[in-house]
Amino acid sequence: MTPNNIIFPIRINAYLAHSGVCTRKQADVYVSQGKVLLNKKRALLGAIVQQGDVVELINVEAQEFVYALWNKPRGTSTPDSKMIVVHGTNLKTHCIGRLDKDTDGLILLSNDTRLSERLLNPKYNHEKEYEVFVRENIVPAQLKQLITGVRITHDGKRLTVKAKSAEKKEQHILSMTLTEGKKHQVRQMCSAVHLTVTHLRRVRIQNLKLKKLRADAIELLRPSDTKELLNSIGL
């Protein structure tokens, strides 16, 4: 197995996770069970893999990762995990990211825990697009300011944040794309340019779009969409 976009040296559980075999937690289980060989010898927990090393699995089937989209309804909280039905079987997935109670829209569900760090860490600059309904009339200067940067409060600190894009769709609706996701960031950014958010919806995560997915519905990703998503985040 030869993972892409990997930096050596790396711990063996991270190596297996990057290979798409299993999560880091499950990799530790396999190592403890003696099912992982490093250069033909039984691997130990915390073992380091160097470039050129050979990692092998014994009597282990690659974990089947599943990926799905959920249209979280407005007025509901985001749970840590959510059960979905795959091939007639109930499967526990994790919510990759959160939306506040008053925000509806797209949440990615998966049992692939590698996604959390890649999609939620702002250093990777992955896109999330929001449809923002506001009370006031939108003017070009406000859109320009959102892209140039505004000041918000996060964890008691004043920060400057920017939208990757901000575009007026209708007189009271704008589209805003972010590459980070601080708490209430869209609402605070709009407030900083004197716009009052009346409704907020997330409509896109990377290549994944909400489209016509009805409220509270769950839809498994097509293989082509899954491949495009994983490629876009380096997995």
pLDDT digits (tens, 9 = 90+) for 191-227: 999 999 999 999 999 999 999 999 999 999 999 999 9
Alpha-carbon distance 235 to 224, whole Å?
14
E-only strand ranges, 65-171: 67-72, 81-86, 89-96, 103-110, 128-134, 150-154, 157-161, 165-170
Give the predicted TM-score (pTM) of the model.
0.81
Provide the pLDDT confidence category of residue 19 given band limits of 50, 70 and 90: confident
Q: Domain 67-121+207-232, CATH 3.40.50.1110 — does that match?
A: no
Of residues 120 and 68, the one with the higher pLDDT is 68
Alpha-carbon distance 16 to 20, whole Å?
7
- pLDDT value of residue 124: 82
- pLDDT value of residue 95: 95
Domain with CATH 3.10.290.10 in the chain: 10-57
The mean per-residue pLDDT over the stretch 55-65 comes to: 84
| Whether 102 is catalytic | no
**What topology is assigned to 10-57 in CATH?**
3.10.290
Domain with CATH 3.30.70.580 in the chain: 67-121+207-232
Write down the catalytic residue from 28, 53, 80, 100: 100
Region 127-205: CATH code: 3.30.70.1560
The mean per-residue pLDDT over the stretch 108-136 comes to: 89
Alpha-carbon distance 71 to 204, whole Å?
11
